[in-house]
Every structure is written in structure tokens, then in C-alpha cells.
Structure 1
Amino acid sequence: MGRFTLEAAISGPHSVAPSFAETDWDAVVTLYGALAQVWRSPSVTVAHLAARMHRALADGDAPELRHVENELLELEASAAAYARRDARLALADLAWRTGLREQAAQRYRALADELTAEPLRRFCQRRAGDPAGWGA
């Protein structure tokens, strides 16, 4: 399968899941793994790690979460700027989803200060607890 076929296939489990929690994370992880084989990109690496994170959260797999977090921290430190940003977003999401809300808020606040895409910036502001994120 080629890159675009795999990208389309990745949207499948998201499209048919009745809810985010019911997403077939095994399928998403497998498809991102296949995509990483045909299109090596830091963005694909981050997306694959994010899918692994969601699967580990669903399974309650703490060792896998630590492994994913460590890989994201490595990307945050050394990847291209766009992949660093994506890794930082995934790390903020991981902190948020594991109940580390103050750590998540700090990460989201730092991201909001740097992002230029307004919808994403407002999302980060909301997660950081900034009322400015609720504006139009």
C-alpha cells in the first residue's frame, strides 16, 4: 500500500467509531506502523506515538505510556520544528489525559504563546485555563 492509501485507511477507524473512546486503536497503531514504513517522517512518528498512547490509555498499559512519553520527549528535544511542536502537543495531551492537569496546563500555556494557527492556539488556551481561549 502507498502513503495516500494508508492515510485514507487511518481515517477509517476514526470515522466508524461511535466515540473517541471506542476507536479501534489497535488498527490505528497498525496502520500508522505501516505508514511509517513507506513514508518516514517525524510527523508520522509523532502520530504513531499518539495512537500508541491512546491505545495504552485504553488498555491501562502504564509501561507503554512511559515508553511513548520518553520517545515523545526525545522528539521534542531533537526533531524538526514542526515535529517538536506536534510532540509537545502530544505530551500536553498525555499529561491532560492522565490527570496531570497542572503539568498539562503549563505545556498548553507555552504552546499557546507560540502557535500562530488561531483555532489550535485557542484550544491550548482553553486547556491552560485561559478565558481568552473561549473568545470568537
Structure 2
Amino acid sequence: MIVHQNLGSPVPVRLGDAASQGASRASMFNRINWERLSPSPHEALVDSNASPVLLWQPAKQRPDTISPSSLGSQADSRSAVSKDFERWVNLSLWWIRRNGTRVWGLEKNAVRADLDISLSFISSVFALPCALEALEQGLPGR
């Protein structure tokens, strides 16, 4: 998790809290995460709809493959967290698009036929320079 300290601290949520009830996407993730992580009674999760946090899973490069990283938010609306949070997320994603090369996505022209990439999801993947170099040298993206 990446926290932008200037935008505030993460807001805790527990299973019985209002943020875990209802049909919103964030409420559903709160319940799923609670079941998967099984926190103790004195622990809490992060309320995605009230916390200025990004979830980041770094890429993994192994000798035989490279996996994509992921960066995003589980908030139902970034602007509902705050306008500053929405701006920060957009700037972060823009930086990746500006500094990376699109190598995978839904549109046919987004898939680089010269690279060995096979992913089980449909989303845009931008390779930053070091990752692109590894892919261009033949490392499969999985």
C-alpha cells in the first residue's frame, strides 16, 4: 500500500462498520478482504473509500519470466476520497503511461506481437524501460 501522507492517514474499517455493509464495490472488497485475511479482533483493514492509498503489487522478474506489477485503488470513486487524491492517482498513472511503452491491452494494436506476453487479464500493461528491455531480449511476460 502506498500512502500519500499529505493527503491524510488511512482510515480503519472493521467487519461490522458501515464501510463493510451494503452493495458498493468497496464494501464488497472490505468483506472479501476480511474473510481472506482473517484479522484479529484488535486489527482493522483500510477503508478504500475514505483513505488516500494506492494498492501496489510490484512486478517480479525471475530468470525465466517477468510478471506485471499492478497499481490501483479499490475506492468506488477516487474523487469521493478527495479531489487531491484523484489528482494524485491520475498523475501517477499518467507518469507510468508517459514513461512506459504499452505492450498489452484489449485493442489489437496494443499487443506487441514481437514480445512473448500471455496474461490472464484484459487491462492495459505499460512496460517501463527496464521491463521493456527484458521483454525485448526474450524474457516471457506471464
Fold-level similarity (TM above 0.5): no
TM-score, normalised by the number of residues in structure 1: 0.32
Q: Name which structure has the greater RCO, CA cutoff 8 Å, separation 6+.
A: 2
TM-score, normalised by the number of residues in structure 2: 0.31
Q: Computing the radius of gyration over CA atoms, which structure comes out larger, 1 or 2?
A: 2
User: Which structure: greater helix fraction?
Assistant: 1
